[in-house]
Structure 1
């Protein structure tokens, strides 16, 4: 029995996305005549006939849509950046369809959104082979790390320079013994802990020959609290602690209160994110602040560029966003 020709086969032959094939076959006017001709020729060559359901679905789709995938909306960083992304997307005429990978994983989230969106945007942590299979040929904009897959673009964070600046500033404030709390996120999907890039940068930047005082905690307020208590009990000489993110750093402040450690007099605590929630703790949280509005704007710059190219294969687009130190009271 011959294999049924799918819209993905047509997209592969024409060198465009599945969404572009749908637009061409439904005679929509937001793609070039050259691209439309290429799609129609590929469709005719393969003998592809779209289903009535697919035609009706595309006919109802009046605007372009991007799929935003996050690890968990329980983490306020993702809710805050989602708000910035929604505002930026709306100003540029894009709808945003969001999904969390918390319950069933990133692959399931991608497959769920694949029939509804033109491009994916998000913080993706699964192996590239899994992402490649799940996204169905739809282009992807990765936030934070560099992109390595085909049809994948990136908005990267210059975290290393932010961490380097933070270490220098903490030492200028009198800190002599620095430690870190890293995220154990990788332990959710694998029993083997994989150090984050933030930890690797920290350990390299504090200098060779210095003791590495690092513990791993759960990405939550309570996880940050437990990790801080573990860290200080193991290394009571520490006078500054960098924490993987603000949520865990807020927990670290709570852990200091539990131990009776004065912040910042005895130990300075510095998070990474720049959450507004950091203003709600005492002392207020100092942090390496991510420019979420710039991240959202650069991501939409990539999405607009892909749309202008009819979502065809284009050279990888890469933007880098710098961070800034936000000094409050904890450091």
Structure 2
């Protein structure tokens, strides 16, 4: 079937193609209401869909926002964040496209020769080499949303995540705490370091012993070795704050196999509040992040950059990371 064109709409409405273009692109203030109504009716009757390329030429930019996300395995919380961000931008008339960040920096730089986005969004900070071709092309950027930006730039305060974990454990009387770092990919590094920094600083402020930092992969043997080292340490480690829930569950299972009671011998708290945490035994305490508000915050920042003349909806107020306390820190009576 042949694509319906702007000229087809013009012929059906009995107006010029220029008049249809004004209506389609929202610049019809000077056109009589009756004429505008005829054009809109013809668009509806013919099922006309404006060309994305044509609208980009008319407005001087595309309506595509490219979000460069870290490479790595998919996670439920990140996928939910993406869905919320896509929905927020869609309601404002923009399409959100997610690209996995290329491992080759030169490939990342060459990417913008093939894509003409309204904005480029990056989870972490962009270095000057990456920014230069975007600036030359006049493409605005929003970066440092997860790590690398200022406190107001970031969608989630990662240091606050580590602080919430240690605050919870300290309130329960733990004085010797370990922080379980992941075997870090490039994308996880800045997030993990920020969470660890928040945990260490909070322990210092609360007068606790210096936090023991251990690297624990999602691996049964590594988790077993880590649990053994914590429980044999003098003074003994009585609680661990894990980088994420999957890592925390790996530690929980290693503790069970070693006969280490959770939380009597070792309290465990994760991050992300995954549904899986309520299915294990004991149920997992975790830090919940307000990703819906975080996505709205990011969308508002993007719209402020791509449409500065409009009255963008102010970002939603974000609640701080919230501890979901369960059996792995409170015990069976939780």
TM-score by length of 2: 0.65
1:173 corresponding residue in structure 2: 172
1:117 corresponding residue in structure 2: 117
Once the two structures are TM-superposed, the CA of residue 299 in structure 1 deviates from its matched residue by: 0.4
Structure-to-structure mapping, 1:100-179, within 5 angstroms: 100-101=100-101, 104-105=103-104, 108=107, 111-112=110-111, 115-124=115-124, 128-133=127-132, 135=134, 137-147=139-149, 154-179=153-178
RCO greater where, 1 or 2, for CA within 8 Å and sep 6 or more? 1
Structure-to-structure mapping, 1:1-331, within 5 angstroms: 29=25, 58-59=53-54, 64-72=63-71, 74-76=73-75, 77-101=77-101, 104-105=103-104, 108=107, 111-112=110-111, 115-124=115-124, 128-133=127-132, 135=134, 137-147=139-149, 154-185=153-184, 196-207=193-204, 210-218=209-217, 221-222=218-219, 225-236=220-231, 237-309=236-308, 322-331=320-329
Residue pair 1:256, 1:262 contacting (<8 A) in 2 also: yes
Size of the aligned set, in residue pairs, is 265
2:40 corresponding residue in structure 1: none
Structure 2, gaps ≥5 residues long = 1-20, 28-50, 330-334
Once the two structures are TM-superposed, the CA of residue 284 in structure 1 deviates from its matched residue by: 2.8
The 1:106–1:97 alpha-carbon spacing in structure 2 relative to 1, beyond 3 Å, is farther
Once the two structures are TM-superposed, the CA of residue 189 in structure 1 deviates from its matched residue by: 11
Once the two structures are TM-superposed, the CA of residue 130 in structure 1 deviates from its matched residue by: 4.2
Which consecutive aligned stretches of 4+ in structure 1 deviate over 4 angstroms post-superposition? Answer: 26-31, 60-63, 133-137, 186-190
CA–CA separation in structure 2 for the residues paired with 1:246 and 1:269: 10
Structure 1, gaps ≥5 residues long = 1-25, 32-55, 312-316
Once the two structures are TM-superposed, the CA of residue 106 in structure 1 deviates from its matched residue by: 6.6
CA–CA separation in structure 2 for the residues paired with 1:92 and 1:329: 43
Once the two structures are TM-superposed, the CA of residue 66 in structure 1 deviates from its matched residue by: 1.4
Question: What is the alpha-carbon root mean square deviation over aligned residues?
Answer: 3.8
